[in-house]
Amino acid sequence: MITEIKNKKIFTNDVGYSFDKKKPTIILLHGSGQSHIVWSLTDQFLAEKDFNVFNLDLPGHGNSEGPCLISIEEISNWLNDFIEHVGIDKTILVAHSQGCLEALEFAKNFPKKIEKIIFIAGSYSIPVNKSLIDLALSGDMEALNLMMKWGYGSSKQFIGGNPLRKILNSSREVREVLAVDLIACNNYKNGVDAVKSITCPTFFIFGDLDKMVRLESGEKFAKMINKSEVHVIKNCGHMIILENAFEMREKILEFLNK
């Protein structure tokens, strides 16, 4: 589905279902340099369980017009524009990595519009190595290899080629999409305050082999939110949505059905 937000075309994969205000609504938020493609094993599954599902390409990503938004704060405000445009009263945010920062900031600014939040491989702060940022800013495709080297739990799980290379096809895209996202993550400092504003049911999913958001850091994040729930996927890294989407989506559904 193509819609327009502030005269920019935005793509969302609604998996063939029309929006029904009687159903609970899920918005899927992808990570740095990614697009709706990474949720391809999840969006249809959830839609078939009687949810509205919007699998978004953020501005400048995937099939959405650019440019990319340069901060987590801007993305949060843009997300509110999307929600108001569609006519969603309350939403369930399911977020991965950078998307978790966006969900945090949204919860801080628009708490009445949140029904539940599911954080996947997320934290309240995601500092990024300067060398990786510099590689991305120069348009070096090696940045994609480093992202996945750190993103997967083990090299054996890295099958079928680098998934980021299927999304970012050129040096220009690495420079104008991935680098912008990485800088936005690195610059986000509102996390601790944003966590304090969360009162809705909250669920965390972590990989025990995650090198980007270490399990101990993730669990510290989860403990900051009263009565939050945690599930840890064994032998899985940061890219849970690709490494073990089947266990992840089953646990998401269990939480949503409570």
- 129-154: per-residue pLDDT in tens? 999 999 999 999 999 988 888 787 76
CA distance 144 to 141: 6
**CATH T-level fold of 2-126+190-256:** Rossmann fold (3.40.50)
Helix or strand holding residue 195 (H, E): helix 191-195
Per-residue confidence band for 162, with pLDDT thresholds at 50, 70 and 90? confident
Q: What is the pLDDT of residue 203?
A: 98
Average pLDDT over residues 205-209: 96
The mean pLDDT of 7-23, rounded to a whole number, is: 88
Strands 52-56 and 91-96 turn out to be: unpaired
Q: So what's the pLDDT on residue 156? A: 53
Q: Where are the domains of the chain?
A: 2-126+190-256
Q: Mean pLDDT of all residues in the chain? A: 92
Cα angle, residue 128 at apex, residues 38 and 246 outer, rounded to 5°: 25
Phi/psi at 228 (5° precision): -70, 160
Which strand (E) or helix (H) includes residue 54?
strand 52-56
Q: Quick: pLDDT tens for 75-123.
A: 999 999 999 999 999 999 999 999 999 999 999 999 999 999 999 999 9
Query: Does position 160 have pLDDT exceeding 80, yes or no?
Result: no
The phi-psi region of residue 186 (left if phi > 0; otherwise alpha if psi is between -120 and 50; otherwise beta) is alpha
pLDDT at 69 over 60: yes
At 155, the pLDDT band (50, 70, 90 cuts) reads low
Query: What's the rounded Cα separation, in Å, for the pair 95 and 117?
Result: 8
Quote the pLDDT of residue 113: 96
CB 167 within 8 A of CB 151: no
